[in-house]
Copies of this chain bind each other. A is one copy, B any other.
C-alpha cells in the first residue's frame, strides 16, 4: 500500500455520511476513557459504553472523552445520537486517510490532525489520525488505537493546576495540539541529528550504505512536511475562528502554537534542502573515491608499459644485436628500466597525480 496516500476502490463515490470505517483496523477493542474535572475535582474512569458517558455532557464540569478505536459501528452510532453529531461528522472521523483539517459547525468545532509517536525501543515513529470534537463542556477525541502522546497533559490535569482545571475545552484542545506539535518537533530533532551527523562524516567516510540512509531520511522528511503543512493552515484557521467555543484569551496560546508549527515547517524545509545537497555531495565523493583508485592503478600500469616494451625488444630473434652478446647487456637493460620507472614516478609526483 502506498504510504503517502491510501484509498480503496470499493469506497469511491460512497455517501459522505456513511458510518462505515474505511481504514485499517489498528486495535482489537474500543476503549472509552473519561476525564471529568473542575477546579476542585477530577474523575478519571474507563467505561464500557457510550451511555455511561452521556451524563458528563450535562454537567458544568469540563469533560475529556477519549475513544481508542474506530471500527465499532454501534459505538459510533451511539456517539452520533448521544452527543448530537451529524452523520457527516462521524463519516469524516472514520475517514482516517484525510488531510488534517478544521471545520466549524453550529455547536462544535471539528479538528483532525496526524499524531506522530516515537517508539524509543524500535527507533521509528508511527502515525495515527486524531480527531477532536470541541463542544461547550466536553471534548471528544478519537484515536485509531490505544496509546497516545497525551500523558503529560493527563499529568498536568491530575496535578491540580488551577489554571488548566478552570480553563474550558478550548484550552484542553490547545494543550493536546501543543503536545502533538511538540512531538513533531521532537521527532524532527531526532531525524535532524541523524542528518547532521551524516553531513559531518559524509565527505571523509562515504560508503554505499549512506545512499540508502539519505534516501530514507528524504522520504521521512517529505512525509513530515506532508503532515505539518496542513497543520499550519489549521492553526491559522483556528486563530481566526469566530466562535464562542474559543475564548479571546486563547489568542496568545494559539500564536505560540503557530510559531512552533512554523519552526517545525521551516526546519523540515531546511533539512529537505540539506538532504538534496547531501545526495549531490555523496555522488561527488563516491566518484572521486573510485576515480582515485582508477588513477593509482592506471599510473601503475603506465610505468610497466615502457619497460615491458624494452624486454620485448631484447626478446627479438635478430641475428645482429651486439648488445645481447655484451657481458653487461642484461645489467644495462635493468639499469635503463629502473631509470625510466623512477623518472616516471618523479614526473607524476611533480604533476601531483600521485
- The chain A residues found within 8 Å of chain B, CB to CB, are 1-7, 9, 11-17, 88, 92, 98-99, 101, 103, 105, 149-153, 156, 161, 163-164, 175, 178-179, 182-183, 185-186, 188-190, 192-193, 195-196, 199, 202-203, 208, 211-212, 215, 218-219, 222, 225-226, 229-230, 252-253, 255-256, 259-260, 262-264, 266-267, 270-271, 273-274, 276-277, 279-288, 290-291, 293-295, 297-302, 304-309, 311-321, 323-330, 333, 353
Contacts and interface: CB of A to CB of B under 8 A. Distances in A.
Q: Chain copies in the assembly? A: 5
A214 B260 CA distance: 30
Contact of A256 (B14, B16, B225, B271): B16
Given A13-B153, A263-B5, A298 B295 contact: no
B279 A281 contact: yes
20 contacts: A4-B196, A4-B270, A7-B189, A99-B266, A103-B252, A203-B211, A225-B270, A226-B267, A230-B262, A276-B277, A277-B279, A282-B284, A290-B291, A290-B295, A304-B305, A309-B311, A311-B313, A316-B330, A317-B321, A320-B326
B293 A255 contact: no
Contacts of A313: 311
A319 B308 contact: no
Closest 8 CB pairs of A and B: A13-B152, A2-B192, A13-B179, A311-B312, A314-B316, A99-B263, A12-B182, A318-B330
A151 to B, nearest CB: 8
A284 B290 CA distance: 13
Contacts of A298: 293-294, 297-298
